[in-house]
Amino acid sequence: MKKWLLLLLSCMLVFTLAACSEGSGKDVTGGVEIKQVSDMKGTVRVALAGWQLDNGINAQTGNSTIGLTEYMDKTFKKMYPNIKVELYQIPWENVKAKQTAMLMSGDADVLYTGGAFASQWYQDGLLRDLDDLIKEDTSFDPGIYLDGIMNNSYSTKSPDGTKQFGIPAVLGRRMTIYDKKLFSDWGVEGLTEKATPDEILEKAKKMTGKNPKTGEQNYGVYWSGNSLNGSTFVALTLAFGAKGAEGSLKDVKSIKWHLNTPEMVKVMEWLKEAAKLPPAGFITAQGAENFGLEKNNIAIALDSTGGATMNEFIANNNKELLDRFEPVMNMGPKGEGWVAVDPFVMAKNAKDVKASWEVLKFLTSPMTQKYTYENFAMTPTIKQADFVKPEDKYVKKALDIANVGHSELMDEANPFYMSDIVPAVNGFISKAASGNAPDTQQFLDELQDRAEKWSANLK
């Protein structure tokens, strides 16, 4: 009996393994026939922050997803049969330290990473300029990428803007989204296409309290109060014209700080007022779990992605929610905000530069961007993203925002911004939320003083 049971279990295991070891059988090329492009030889080691290599299931939509390994087998391997691509996946947690180690030890040729990390590595001389490769390669058209992120981002351009070291692959989505139902319940007119901070604050104040129709507690506005990159603060500095600093990241110690200007006071005063309106958990990035869904109680979400609504649409074809949650541009004068760009970059000491360039080019190509959008809802970085679902108004809006985007010194590529300004602003917000906001001018004077001391310590 035991033998039979063992045999049965073994058979089940073998069949399961056999079934799982097959490819997905899904088309990843959009029906395009893949032909050999070149017989170039080489080995390229690719270090990817956070990508999924194996086939799996999207936990939010329940749809099956094709891993990068199968995608590369079905596409790149046929195009370049003699280039061996070694893929290394690195979880986002502590990715900077791990990828830095790989760069220093010469264990990676091509990397996908966070924009701020790429910028830092470039300044440390660990990355290679791509200008010569772009110039030589007639098949590569840099014009297909959104101008705002290809030409005006610290994640892809050198601090002085003269050299290209990265090609944008994935875009961060940050836009203002409002709930039309709550606006209607309160009798408030919807947001304008380029809603200013003043408009947002004025309308948010009207919609904080007991909903006149449902009687439920509503909150006028929401943003993450402990955001790592302070994206809402960046959008506000753009809106109020508060530069914060002057100079170049190429020479960090010579940056002139302007953190206590009247414009910056306006930014902080706005935050002080607005901090009274979100749910209490916003200072630890909680409280907006239902935004974009049926039970939502927040009228306006800043720097939102629309992901929850879109997932509901993909999983359950819920068009009602799509109509209910409307995206508009971010708060900058042209509708711009802080735009995260994750690029592909090449190591300074890449072993096989030509083969590495072919891999880098392929992984940032429209075909790969279509694959990452369809499987992992990653936002593309190209102008003609015709594969984006017609209903996906959030990605379209993100592309519009990215197209007018530009990097300023209030950016995660700025070390003092990340280590001190963002935490200080987040601390200010949390104090304002509990009704103990410090005097704005004094807070900014102290921050200015701190910034000057920080710069002095570098000299």
Partner 1 sequence: MILSNEMNADKKMTPKRKKWFTRNDWTGYLFSAPLIIGVLAFAIYPMFAALFISFHQTSGLSLNGKWVGLSNYRYALEDPVFWQALTNTFLMGVLSVVLGIVLSFVLASLINNLKWNFGKNFFKAVYFLPNVVSAVATSLLFSFLFFPSKEGLLNFVLSWFGVHHPIGWFTNPEVSRYSIVLMSLWGALGYNTIIFLAGLQSVPRDLYEAAEVDGAGGYKKWLHITIPYLRPIFVFMLIMGTIGGMKRFTDVWLIGGTAGNPGGSLMTVVLYIYRNAFLASQMGLATAASYLLFIIILVLTAVMMLLNRRKDSLD
* Pick 3 or 295: Cβ nearer partner 1: 295
* Pick 116 or 329: Cβ nearer partner 1: 116
Helix (H, G, I), strand (E, B) or coil at 139: coil
DSSP E strand boundaries for 259-321: 298-304
Among 157-165, 275-283, 322-330, 338-346, the segment contacting partner 1 (CB under 8 A):
275-283
Q: CB of residue 151 vs partner 1: minimum separation in angstroms? A: 25
DSSP state of 164: B
Helix (H, G, I), strand (E, B) or coil at 179: strand
* Alpha-carbon distance values, 363 to 82, 170, 328, 443 (Å): 17, 11, 30, 45
Q: CB of residue 419 vs partner 1: minimum separation in angstroms? A: 3
* Of positions 205, 279, 389, 406, contacts partner 1 by CB under 8 A: 279
52: which residues sit within 8 A by CB, 6+ positions away?
65, 67, 68, 89, 375, 376
Site for partner 1 contains 453 (CB under 8 A): yes
Site for partner 1 contains 426 (CB under 8 A): yes
* Of positions 167, 249, 302, 433, contacts partner 1 by CB under 8 A: 433
**Over the range 33-53, which residues count as b (16 or more CB within 10 Å of their CB) and which as e?**
eeeeeeeeebebbbbbbbbbe
Question: First and final CA of the chain: distance in angstroms?
Answer: 80
Site for partner 1 contains 415 (CB under 8 A): yes
In the Cβ-directed half-sphere of 267, how many Cα atoms lie within 13 Å?
A: 29
DSSP E strand boundaries for 8-78: 42-49, 56-57, 64-65
What track of x and - describes contact with partner 1 for positions 119 through 148 (by CB under 8 A)? -x---x-x----------------------
* Pick 27 or 124: Cβ nearer partner 1: 124
* Pick 168 or 278: Cβ nearer partner 1: 278
* Of positions 84, 134, 281, 452, contacts partner 1 by CB under 8 A: 281
Q: Of residues 211-250, which lie at the interface with partner 1 (CB under 8 A)?
A: 225-228
Residue 369 tokens read as 């961007």
Site for partner 1 contains 422 (CB under 8 A): yes
Q: CB of residue 139 vs partner 1: minimum separation in angstroms? A: 34
Q: CB of residue 125 vs partner 1: minimum separation in angstroms? A: 8
Closest CA to 397 of 178, 91, 228, 207: 178
Closest CA to 379 of 388, 205, 320: 388
Residues binding partner 1: number (CB under 8 A): 39
Q: CB of residue 212 vs partner 1: minimum separation in angstroms? A: 21
Q: CB of residue 233 vs partner 1: minimum separation in angstroms? A: 12
Helix (H, G, I), strand (E, B) or coil at 58: coil
* Pick 25 or 435: Cβ nearer partner 1: 435
Site for partner 1 contains 424 (CB under 8 A): yes
Site for partner 1 contains 84 (CB under 8 A): no
* Pick 6 or 280: Cβ nearer partner 1: 280
Check if the beta carbon of residue 371 is closer than 8 Å to that of residue 34. no
Give, for 109, the enclosing helix (H) or strand (E): none
Residue 174 tokens read as 């940050």
Site for partner 1 contains 316 (CB under 8 A): no
Q: At what angle do helices 197-206 and 231-240 cross, to 10 degrees?
A: 120
* Of positions 26, 78, 96, 194, contacts partner 1 by CB under 8 A: 96
Site for partner 1 contains 283 (CB under 8 A): yes
* Pick 358 or 412: Cβ nearer partner 1: 412
83: which residues sit within 8 A by CB, 6+ positions away?
40, 41, 42, 43, 44, 76, 355, 358, 359
Site for partner 1 contains 430 (CB under 8 A): yes
* Pick 391 or 420: Cβ nearer partner 1: 420
H-type helices in 167-230, by residue range? 180-186, 197-206
Among 175-183, 254-262, 309-317, 450-458, the segment contacting partner 1 (CB under 8 A):
450-458
* Of positions 105, 162, 317, 457, contacts partner 1 by CB under 8 A: 457
* Pick 192 or 434: Cβ nearer partner 1: 434
CA distance 60 to 57: 9
* Pick 139 or 436: Cβ nearer partner 1: 436
Check if the beta carbon of residue 302 is closer than 8 Å to that of residue 309. no
Q: CB of residue 282 vs partner 1: minimum separation in angstroms? A: 8
Check if the beta carbon of residue 347 is closer than 8 Å to that of residue 108. yes
Where does this chain bind partner 1 (CB under 8 A)? 96-97, 100, 104, 120, 124, 126, 225-228, 279-281, 283-287, 415-416, 418-420, 422-427, 430-431, 433-434, 436, 453-454, 457-458
